[in-house]
Structure 1
Amino acid sequence: MSESLAGKIVFITGAASGIGKATALKLAKLGANLILTDVVEIEYEVAFPESAQQSDLSPIITAELDVSNEAQCQLVVKEVVQYYGRIDHVFNCAGINPTAYSILELPDGYFDKLWSVNVKGTYNVTKAALPHMKEHAGCSFVNVSSIMGQRPAARVAAYCATKYAVMGFSKSMALELGPKGIRVNIVAPGFIDTPTNNSVVAGPDAVKESEASVSLGRMGTAEEVADVVAFLMSKEARYMNGSEVSINGGLKY
């Protein structure tokens, strides 16, 4: 896997923390050249202190990017291509995690905000990057959905809608881009211990409840998702296209 990713140009959204950050570190260690974007400024030395002890990590570019803004997506991708000449892989990781609301309690603008980032953001980055990805050269997209894009849950209807949409959009992408040799796969994380996970935000009792629903008896780590993302980008996954990979530790219910 390391050889197939060395020197590849990988564009990552939502890279400042959580799964995006863990994936960035994984791919950097595998020799990829990274473009790390997030809606907040990424102070590389602060966000990635591990790099201070690893001078062999591959080059990394950071940029602020609001994926819901199509013009920004086009501009950042244009700057990347001017520097590198191409994009090999895209990890559409930027997203807003759920907050529990009944359907009649959704705050004004909440549904639109989730849709604009989780779904339209994936589309905007895809649209901007695709013209710069070479056909039949091992290029790929990995898009982030969720267990809530596979199974419904009460009080998170808006979030479920966006993650089901990412599933459908990604699988349609796979059918359209497959003949060009560009693969599209989806990761569906379950309960992952990240700063924005709703159980983590809610506190220890909620974490215990989440852990009780997992057969492995614990929440997953961002690094465990990153390992799967790196695999999906590698040549070892060259016949995976349109696949949804569940990363949930074995949910009981």
Structure 2
Amino acid sequence: MQRLANKVAIITGGARGMGAQTSRLFVEEGATVVIADLLESEGQALAAELGDKVSFRRLDVSNAEDWQRLVSETVERHGRIDVLVNNAAVLVFGAIEQLSKADFERALSINLTGTFLGIHTVAPFMREQGAGSIVNISSVDGLRGVNALAAYVSSKWGVRGLTKVAALELGPHGVRVNSVHPGGVDTVMSNPTGASRDELAPQYRTVPLQRIGAPEEIARATLFLASDEASYCNGSELSVDGGVAAGSYYPGLPGSPI
């Protein structure tokens, strides 16, 4: 049985990377999917590839009017919204002393405000339905600190906290809100040069599973939380990080690969 049969899903950042793999998997599992992204050519091509149950809509996740338009059009066309995946994000590097206010705010506006606006806009419709699943893609860096990623880490910790509040407020109305925390994943964001996974392996020696993750591995976790299989999951954090959040190694001691 298809796990998302007869469900309507919006996936932000759905044109490439983890979002594209999530779009593909959701369609395989029976969902009607709205790919929402700023990457118009890639999003339209993916929608055409995946067939009649998929459409593309341009969305700037930091823009409240774009969200209102997207959600209204989706409800008008499909009659409901069962799943929202807040996946769109940017990665901003820079030490705190060198990071500009503009770059810090850019990361927050897309990663955190974009997630807030998604929840804010779909919540009334899901509450009226008495059902829904919101999956917020945070990061393993929403569970820890990382140097040179002050903006990104701050935004992803914010997504984690926002998930908890939304789970409390929407849970009584049958709407579940959970977060996924990926580690390094083989996408343009984490692997902009397109290096092979073998070439990347030395960079992942401190990861217990000794490798970078694949987009489909994150998509499968998102599918679980979106589906009725996760019917008693609300406010939960699902780490899909190869073991990074488990802890760190003391090099040279027993059990350490480094």
Q: Establish whether TM, by shorter chain, passes 0.5.
A: yes
Identity of aligned residues (%): 37
Q: How does 1:56-95 map to 2 (within 5 A)?
A: 59-95=53-89
CA distance in 2, matches of 1:49, 1:222: 20
**Match of 1:15?**
14
With CA pairs under 8 Å and 6+ residues apart, which has the higher RCO, 1 or 2? 1
**Alpha-carbon contact 1:138-1:238 (below 8 Å) kept:** no
Amino acid at match of 1:231: F
Partner of residue 130, structure 1? 123
The answer as to 2:149 corresponding to 1:156 is: yes
The residue type equivalent to 1:22 in the other structure is Q
In structure 2, do the counterparts of structure 1 residues 160 and 43 end up closer, same or farther at CA, with 3 Å as the change threshold? closer
Pairing 1:38–2:28 present: no
Match of 2:181 in 1: 188
Residue pairs, 1:1-253, within 5 angstroms: 2-43=1-42, 46-47=45-46, 51=50, 59-99=53-93, 101-134=94-127, 137-197=130-190, 199-201=191-193, 207-251=200-244, 253=248
Report if aligned partners of 1:19, 1:194 keep a CA contact under 8 Å in 2: yes
Give the superposition deviation at 1:136: 6.9
Q: Is the 8 A contact 2:127 2:170 kept in 1?
A: no
- CA 1:129–1:75: 2 relative to 1, 3 Å: same
Aligned length in residues? 245
Which residue identity is paired with 1:153? V
The residue identity in structure 2 corresponding to 1:18 is G
Write the deviation string for residues 63-92 of structure 1: whole angstroms up to 9, x where unpaired: 110000111111111111111111011000
Q: Which amino acid aligns with 1:111?
A: F
CA contact (8 A) 1:15 1:24 kept: yes
The 3-state SS of whatever aligns with 1:35 is strand
What is the letter of the counterpart of residue 104 of structure 1? E
Question: 1:90, 1:140 within 8 Å by CA — same for their partners in 2?
Answer: yes
Inter-partner Cα distance in structure 2 for 1:134 and 1:39: 28
Tell me which amino acid in the other structure corresponds to 2:142. Answer: G
| SS across alignment from 1:104 | coil
Q: Aligned partners of 1:46 and 1:74: how far apart in 2?
A: 24
Post-superposition offset of 1:177: 0.8
SS in 2 for 1:120: helix
Deviation of 1:210 (Å): 3.2
- With 182-191 and 4-13 compared, the bigger mean Cα shift is at 4-13
Secondary structure in structure 1 of the residue aligned to 2:112: helix
Q: CA RMSD in A?
A: 2.2
1:48–1:136 CA distance, 2 compared to 1 (3 A): closer
Deviations 1:150-169 (A, max 9, x none): 01011111111100000000
Retained in 2: the 8 A contact 1:29–1:58?
Answer: no
The answer to whether the Cα contact below 8 Å between 1:36 and 1:63 also exists between their aligned partners in 2 is yes
Is the 1:22–1:222 Cα contact (8 Å) retained in structure 2?
yes
Paired with 1:45 and 1:202, the residues of 2 have a C-alpha distance of: 23
CA distance in 2, matches of 1:125, 1:210: 34
Please list the CA deviations of residues 133-189 of structure 1 after superposition, one character each: whole Å capped at 9, or x if unmatched.
Answer: 155754110001101100101111111110000000011100111111110000000
Distance in 2 between residues matched to 1:109 and 1:209, nearest whole Å: 33
Q: Shift in Å at residue 106 of structure 1?
A: 0.9
